[in-house]
Every structure is written in C-alpha cells, then in structure tokens.
Amino acid sequence: MSFVKENAVINEELKNGRQENLDDLLDLEKHKLSVIPQKAETNTDRKMKYLGLPIAIIVFLLIYYMPTPAGLSLAGQSVLACFSFALILWVTESIPTHVTSLTLMVMLVFTDAWKMKSVLGVLGYDVIWLNVMAFILSSLLVKTNIAKRIALTLIVKFGHSALPMMLAFIVLQLALAPLIPATAARTVITLPIMLIVAAIYGSTSENPNNFGRNLFLQNLLGINILSAGFMTGSTANLIALAFIFSMAGTKVYYTDWMFANLPVVLVAMLIVWGIGPKLLFRLNKKEKEPAIEGGIDVLKKQLNAMGKFSALEKKGAIIFGIVVLMWVTDRFHFGLFGFEINAVMAAIVGGIIALLPRIGVLKWNEADIPWHLMLFSAGAYAGGLALNDTGAATWAVQSLFKAINFDKNINFWILYTVIIAVMMYSHFVFTSKTMRTIILIPFIIALAKELGINPLALALPAAFTIDWVIGLPISAKPNVILFTTGQYSVLDNLKYGFIVSTIGIILLVVAGMTWFKFLGITP
Amino acid sequence: MKKLNNFVFLFFIFLSFSSYAQTVEQLKEELSFNENGKANLKVSIKLEKGNVYNLLIPYNFNGKISEISTEKGFYAEKVNIQGINYLFINRKDSIKFSECNITVIIDEYYDFNNEKISDFGNYLLKYRYINTRFSKIKNYLLKIVLPQKYNITSVDESIPEATEDSPKSPFKLGNKDGKYFVELTGENVKLGENLYIKFRFKENNKSILLAILLGFIAIGYLIIFKDLRKSKAEK
C-alpha cells in the first residue's frame, strides 16, 4: 500500500473518530508536564491526605524536641526532624509535593539546620540544571516526532502486550548502559519514548495507571542498577574499588566486577520484570494491551503514515546526536580538546543548539519544563544534602552498626547479610552514592579486618549495592527526572524501592553463597 | 651590640630546651569552660623516645592564665619566646622525664558577650593548635567540653578535614555527664603544621512556641479539611 493510500485510510479512520483518540494520546502537547494534572483520588488517598499533616507535625516535634543523641549535632537533629516531616507529607500528599519541598526549605533555615545560602543554592546544582535541560531535549524529541517514531517502532515490534514491551526497555537500557555511563543521560534519552509508550497504554500524568507505574519504575531500576553491572558504571564504584585496593590490598579488574555482578543485576531485572506487573502494580486486562481502538494495526498504520524522516526530524536527530556523541565520548574529550564536557554541560550545549533561531528546532514556549517539579527536586535535594552535610545520615547508619554490636564469633553469612542490608537500605538516607561509599566501604573493610575476615568477601558485595538507589525520588538524578513525569507517586516509588531492594539483598546473599563463592570472592 | 646580645641569649635558650626536634607520641588537650568563660585546660604529653630535662609545649589560646598546676615533682610556667607562647615544664629534681600532665586555669577564656553571632543565638568557637616545637606529633587529640546547658550546632570547619582519600571524619561529637563535647584528632602533625576546629554552639533549650504553633496548625488543618474524612461517595 502506498504512503498516499495509507494516509487516506487514516484520514478515513479519523473521520470515524477512531484516530482522534490515538492522536490525543500521542500528542504530548495535550499532556504537558508543566501543567499540574488533576488526579483522581481513592478513599485511601483522602484518608492519608487528612492524617498526613498532623502525623508529620507529631513526628517532627518528637524528633526536634528529644534530647540530642550523642554523636549528633543540633543541626543534624533538626535536619532529621524536618526531613521526616517532609517525607511523610510527600508520601501522604496532604499538601502538593512541590509545596512540601518549599516548606522543607523554609524549615531547614528556620530551625538552623542548614544555612540559607546552602538551601537556596541547591537550585544551582547540576541535577537541577540537568532536569531543565532534560525537558528541553525531551521537548525537542517530541516536537520533531523522533520520540513518536521510536516509540511506535518499539510498540509495533514488541508492544502486542505489556510484558514484551517492558522487556524491550530492559534490553534498550542494557544496550545503553556500557555506552553511556551517565545515568541521567540515559534517562534523558529514553524519557520521551517512555512517555509515548505509556500514553499508548493509557497512562498519562493526569491519569496514571499501573502500566505507567511499572514502566517508569522498571526503567528507574534499570537505569540505576545496570550501572552496577560495570565497574565504570559510576564514579562511586571506582571509589569503592580504590578503597578495596588501598585498604585491603586487593585489585579488582573490570572483568572481575562484570562477571560477578552483571549476572546478579540481570537476574534482578528479570525477576522484577516478572513480578512487577503481576504483584507490585498488578495490570488489569485493559492495561496489558495498547489503549488504542484497533490495536497494533492502527499503530502500524500510524507509523507507516509518518513516512520517511522529515527535515525537522533529521535536524532534531542531528542535534540530539551531537549530545549523545558528547555523552558517549566523554573519556576522550580531554585528549581531543584539552577540556572535558560532562553530562550536564553536554545537555546544555544541546539545549543551546535546539533553541538557536533558524538552526534549532524549538522555541522557548514549546519547551515543556515542569517548574513546580523543579522546586520539588530542589527542596527534596536540599533535605538530602543537609542530611549528608550535617552528618545526620552518617550518624544514623553508624548508630545502626553500633547497635548490632558484631563480635568475633559471628557467623559469616549473618554478618554478610547484615552488611548487604545496611548498605542497600542506607540509600534511603543518603542522596549521594559517593558519600555512601566513602563512609561505609572503609568501615566495612576495617570491620572485616577486625573480625579476621578477608575484606574482599564483604566489601566487594557491599560495593555491588552502590547503584541500587531506587527507593525515593531524590535517591539519584534519574529518579528526580522520572518522578517529574507524574506517572507515579512518592508512595509508589517508596513501596517499589523497598520491595525491590529487599529482592536485591536476597539475590546478593544467594549469589554470595553460590556464584561469588565459585568466583572466590566469598569463603 | 644589644641586639647581638639578645640574639645570643635567645639562641642559648633554644638550644637549652631539649624538647626541640623531639617526636611526640601523644599530645592530649582537654579544654572545658563554664558559663562565665573561665576554662580549665588539661594537657598531657608523652614523648616517643628519650627523656628530657625540660619541655616547651606551644599554646595558642586567648585569655589570662591564672594558675598552672602539675604532677608532684614538676614545675611549670608560661614563657614567650620570639612572640610564641609556651608552657615550660621542668622537674624540680632535675631528673629526666618523658611524660607529664599539666592543668592550666584560664580566666576570661571565652567572652560570651563578644562571641555571640547573630543567627539563631549561636556562639562561635575557633581553636587552633600550631606545632611550633616538635618535629612530629604522632597523635594529637583535642577535646572541647561545653558548659552544661550548651550544645554544638554544627562543626563548620576543621583541619584536617575528611576527603575522598581520607574519608574518616577528624572530629566526633559526644556527651558525657550531661555536657556536650567535640573531639578533634590529628595524626603525624609535622613542625609548622596546625590543627583547627571552628564550630557553632548555642543554648540547648528550644522555643516551646514553635510546638504550640505547629499544634494549632495541625488542629486547624483537621478542621478545615474535615471533608476528607468522608469517602468520595458520601461527599
């Protein structure tokens, strides 16, 4: 069938009102992220909303007015109180999440927890800039129809039902992980595709469904933990290895890391892919298939109707290609140019080109930037950074270790499980992987030495948990960006993050007893 | 001629103190002060090897030393050599020693009226120890104990500081007998190097007004949003 005939068929369908629905779903202009959607609420949501603020205030007062525990500063105590207050409000949504963030910023200053300059300075952090640029680049992919073309291609090939569609995203993230180490960059690349695929399955920011929750949270997991499959996946991985080398005298090579942990990460992804839509956010029959009347055939026709790459698409692809090229070649920049272009700067360069008159493809008004969610990110990040800066996060984790009180007769596997669990769950209080690594890994190595255990047996599996930062929207940069799509709530993220982290612990313990033993990592 | 005489005199004083170029195994300073600003500084020093007849320990705090006490058989006094303050320790019986403990009472160590900084009723305290005497101090420990009703708001600066290469925090906070304290540790402090801590502290009592205000907000919220108690169907 020729392209002209295809269009004629689609026009005919449009007359029948079938295509209108598809256009509505695919037109992200109609689902602008910068507009706060009116979400439908359940009775449980209403009760949580009602009780959220009073509970948050009670928790705040209890922590703020209790005698300061030894080892914690007054500022640290205030941060703990303010952060707990905000966390309860983010989960219960008594007030909108961005208003909670603003409240948290004000409370941090009022309670002398963090200096005003530091609190306000968070808006200048790289994660916020990356967020802004992510949405400009995402708008570029949407406006030029590149995102639509990729999403339709993916759906036509894999999207007959939800599970193969989600598996396709795992494969996509796995392919991108070794090429682009920056997790935020991978998020930016795949975000518009996720948005369109979610829309086709009926999940929008106004009306998110369980497909959207599964898709976005599975991608959040994939983007983060697939970095754990490679030693170079994050700077924190390399810092952990530097500690293992300098403090324990063991050198871990790229392949040692990959052979040990990549299988664990892949198994984790497959388990979560399997149980996510069945147990965590159960898909109903409607959510398992594209919410398009006429199904895949209509989408096929839509893809065909797009024809060959338009000039606008080509222009958009070149601009985005330049950014991706800068992300992929980051390690060669210094040698080539004498300076390095990091992920954020590359995104800003892309944003500049995209917005340039005549050369670019976007006008400022077409960039869909959800500013309310930037404020959410800034406030949430301020809370997380204050936890780090005041030593409150370190105090919480060290207190936990002290309370456990290890002795020399402790069974290795009990110790191993506790270490992995503390390391894994510690991402709920640390917003920085680097901070978590530099505080906990040396402690674990020292503990192993004290107990007469090979430090590698504890420190390397503990290092494998560094990239499992999946519990909260502020746990890592990709989380901040993905949360701003409105496809899931803080509570959804918390629930998913906690359950999947627990699965991760079980997997690492099983791997420790079998696979790591075979590789000679554990005794 | 007078200048030359002074120089020769100082040169001989320097040579005569056998603590010069000694390596110190451990130097501990515990400074506690009260609400009037009067401080008590306990210094204990242990040399790595060899015994000395006398010892000069540099100090760098403000205030007027009103009393110096030592263990039995020792004698101590403050001296100033080329603008640097030292505690000069000697044995009355001219026997060599390698360890000693001194207690110094300092009047007007901390001026609560002048040191108050505007934000949130905080006071600022800076303490610097400069090693102007020993070739190396292997282990240095400074403990600053606050008056009873005060607590540490935050440690804003320290030397050494935690870095990626040396992630262990050089300071720790604690509480003993109801008094909050901060401890700073340093290792292998060479001649000319210094250790430093700057922190804010304030009275431990918190305004009850905030609790009352938040209580009212909680009650007000429960009243204004009482419709949320009803299910959507009831509404």
Q: Angle at the Cα of A319 (from A318 to A322), degrees rounded to 5? A: 85
Contact B125/A at CB under 8 A:
no
Calpha distance A334→B97 (Å, rounded)? 59
On whether the CB atoms of residues A319 and A350 are closer than 8 A, the answer is yes
Asked if the model's pLDDT at residue A465 lies above 60, the reply is yes
Average pLDDT of chain B? 85
CB contact under 8 A, A71 and B155: no
The enclosing H or E element of A511 equals helix A490-513
Confidence of residue A105 (pLDDT cuts 50, 70, 90): very high
Residue entry with tokens 């505007």: B118
Residue B90 has a pLDDT of 87
Confidence of residue A474 (pLDDT cuts 50, 70, 90): confident
CB contact under 8 A, A73 and B154: yes
Contact B155/A at CB under 8 A:
yes
Average pLDDT of the segment spanning A109-118: 94
The enclosing H or E element of A246 equals helix A235-248
Chain A: residues touching B (Cβ < 8 Å): 41-43, 46-47, 49-50, 53-54, 57-58, 60-61, 64-65, 68, 70-76, 94, 112, 239, 390-391, 394, 434, 438-439, 442
Asked if the model's pLDDT at residue B116 lies above 90, the reply is no
Asked if the model's pLDDT at residue A265 lies above 90, the reply is yes
Between A60 and A207, name the one with better pLDDT.
A60
Tens digit of each residue's pLDDT (9 = 90 or more) over B39-65: 999 999 998 876 788 888 888 787 888
CB contact under 8 A, B231 and A46: yes
Tens digit of each residue's pLDDT (9 = 90 or more) over A205-253: 878 899 999 999 999 999 999 989 988 788 788 888 888 887 888 889 8
Asked if the model's pLDDT at residue A440 lies above 80, the reply is yes
Q: Which of A73, A95, A436 to mutate to test the interface with B (most CBs of B within 10 A)?
A: A73
On whether the CB atoms of residues A129 and A406 are closer than 8 A, the answer is no
SS (H, E, C) A268-336: HHHHHHHHHHHHHCCCCCHHHCCCCCCHHHHHHHHHHHCCCCCHHHHHHHHHHHHHHHHHHCHHHHHHH
Residue entry with tokens 């708001």: B153
Calpha distance B169→A81 (Å, rounded)? 23
Please check whether residue A321 lies inside any domain of the structure.
Answer: no
Contacts of B152 in chain A (CB under 8 A): 73-74
A25-34, A222-231, B188-197: range with lowest mean pLDDT:
A25-34
Residue A1 has a pLDDT of 38
Closest residue in A to B223 (Cα–Cα): A50
CB contact under 8 A, A68 and B175: yes
Q: Is the ipTM of this complex over 0.90?
A: no
Closest residue in B to A75 (Cα–Cα): B153
Q: Which of A470, A414, A396 is nearest to A225 (CA)?
A: A470
Residue A28 has a pLDDT of 60
SS (H, E, C) chain B: CHHHHHHHHHHHHHHHCCCCCCEEEEEEEEEEECCCCCEEEEEEEEECCCCECEEEEECCCCCEEEEEEECCCEEEEEEEECCEEEEEEEECCCCCECEEEEEEEEECCCCHHHHECCHHHCEEEEEEEECCCCCEEEEEEEEEECCCCEEEEEEEEEECCCCCCCCCCCEEEEEECCEEEEEEEEEEEECCCEEEEEEEEEECCCCHHHHHHHHHHHHHHHHHCHHHHCCCCCC
Calpha distance A511→A493 (Å, rounded)? 26
Query: How many helices, marked H, and strands, marked E, lie in chain A?
Result: 25, 0
CB contact under 8 A, B211 and A61: yes
Length of chain B: 235
Alpha carbon of A201: minimum distance to chain B alpha carbons (Å): 27
Residue A19 has a pLDDT of 44
CB contact under 8 A, B217 and A439: no
Count of other CB atoms within 10 angstroms of residue A15? 10
Closest residue in B to A440 (Cα–Cα): B167
Q: Which residue among A57, A73, A391 places its CB closest to the CB of B218?
A: A57
Asked if the model's pLDDT at residue B4 lies above 80, the reply is no
Question: Domain B2-223: which CATH class?
Answer: mainly beta
Closest residue in A to B118 (Cα–Cα): A112
Which residues share a beta bridge with B103? Answer: B42, B69
On whether the CB atoms of residues A429 and A387 are closer than 8 A, the answer is yes
Residue entry with tokens 């080892």: A71
Calpha distance A211→A196 (Å, rounded)? 12
Q: Which residue among A65, A74, A391 places its CB closest to the CB of B211?
A: A65
DSSP A52-67: HHHHHHHHHHHHHHSP
Calpha distance A229→A261 (Å, rounded)? 5
Contacts of B153 in chain A (CB under 8 A): 73-75, 112
Asked if the model's pLDDT at residue B73 lies above 80, the reply is yes
Q: Which residue among B119, B155, B168 places its CB closest to the CB of A73?
A: B155
A149-163, A193-207, A434-448, B5-19: range with lowest mean pLDDT:
B5-19
Contacts of A75 in chain B (CB under 8 A): 153-154
CB contact under 8 A, B175 and A70: yes
Q: Which of B154, B201, B169, B119 is nearest to A386 (CA)?
A: B154
Residue entry with tokens 């909108």: A96
Q: Which of A59, A74, A103, A440 to mutate to test the interface with B (most CBs of B within 10 A)?
A: A74
Closest residue in A to B206 (Cα–Cα): A65
Tens digit of each residue's pLDDT (9 = 90 or more) over A316-347: 999 989 988 888 887 788 888 888 888 889 98
Contacts of B206 in chain A (CB under 8 A): 64-65
Tally the domains of chain A. Answer: 2
Please check whether residue A272 lies inside any domain of the structure.
Answer: no
Phi, psi of A427 (to 5 degrees): -70, -10
Closest residue in A to B213 (Cα–Cα): A57
Alpha carbon of A46: minimum distance to chain B alpha carbons (Å): 5
Contact B214/A at CB under 8 A:
yes
Asked if the model's pLDDT at residue A12 lies above 70, the reply is no
Residue A429: domain span: 390-518
Bridging pattern class, strands B23-33 and B136-145: parallel
Residue B179 has a pLDDT of 93
Closest residue in A to B173 (Cα–Cα): A71
Average pLDDT of the segment spanning A405-416: 86
Calpha distance A481→A370 (Å, rounded)? 10
Residue A30 has a pLDDT of 62
Residue A127 has a pLDDT of 76
Average pLDDT of the segment spanning A279-298: 83
Count of other CB atoms within 10 angstroms of residue A508? 27
In order of A98, A123, A279, A398, B230, the CA distances from A42 in angstroms are: 21, 34, 20, 40, 11
DSSP A117-169: HHHHHGGGSHHHHHHHHHHHHHHHHHHTTHHHHHHHHHHHHHTTSHHHHHHHH
> Which residues does A507 contact at the CB level (< 8 Å), separation at least 6?
A264, A267, A268, A271
SS (H, E, C) A317-361: HHHHHHHHHHHHCHHHHHHHHCCCCCHHHHHHHHHHHHHCCCCCC
In order of A386, B50, B202, the CA distances from B74 in angstroms are: 49, 18, 38
Domain spans in chain B, listed from the N-terminal domain onward: 2-223
Half-sphere exposure of A235 (CA within 13 A, CB side): 10
In order of A368, A415, A478, the CA distances from A271 in angstroms are: 35, 25, 21
**Which of A51, A85, A113 is the last residue before a domain boundary?**
A113
Average pLDDT of the segment spanning A398-412: 81
Tens digit of each residue's pLDDT (9 = 90 or more) over B132-186: 888 899 999 999 999 998 999 999 999 998 776 666 788 999 998 889 999 999 9
Calpha distance A102→A97 (Å, rounded)? 9
Calpha distance A278→A282 (Å, rounded)? 5
Closest residue in A to B122 (Cα–Cα): A112
| The pTM of the whole model exceeds 0.90 | no
Residue B233 has a pLDDT of 67
CB contact under 8 A, A41 and B229: no
Residue entry with tokens 């392919």: A175
> Which residues does A87 contact at the CB level (< 8 Å), separation at least 6?
A472
CB contact under 8 A, A390 and B214: no
Indicate if the alpha-carbon torsion angle A392, A397, A400, A401 is positive or negative. negative
Alpha carbon of B231: minimum distance to chain A alpha carbons (Å): 5
CB contact under 8 A, B228 and A43: no
Helix axes A392-404, A371-389, angle to 10 degrees: 50
Q: Angle at the Cα of B154 (from B153 to B159), degrees rounded to 5? A: 145
Confidence of residue A5 (pLDDT cuts 50, 70, 90): very low
Contacts of A390 in chain B (CB under 8 A): 154
Query: What amino acid is encoded at B134 in this protein?
Result: F
Contacts of B158 in chain A (CB under 8 A): none
Residue B57 has a pLDDT of 86
Q: Which of A88, A98, A131 is nearest to A373 (CA)?
A: A98
> Which residues does A125 contact at the CB level (< 8 Å), separation at least 6?
A378, A381
In order of A313, A351, B143, the CA distances from A325 in angstroms are: 17, 14, 54
Confidence of residue A13 (pLDDT cuts 50, 70, 90): very low
- Where does A342-432 have alpha helices with state H? 343-355, 371-389, 392-404, 412-425
**Which of A70, A93, A113 is the last residue before a domain boundary?**
A113
Length of chain A: 523
Average pLDDT of chain A? 86
Query: Percentage of chain B surpassing pLDDT 90?
Result: 45
End-to-end CA distance of chain A: 65
Please check whether residue A340 lies inside any domain of the structure.
Answer: no
Which residues share a beta bridge with B180? Answer: B175
Please check whether residue A502 lies inside any domain of the structure.
Answer: yes
Please check whether residue A7 lies inside any domain of the structure.
Answer: no
CB contact under 8 A, A61 and B214: yes
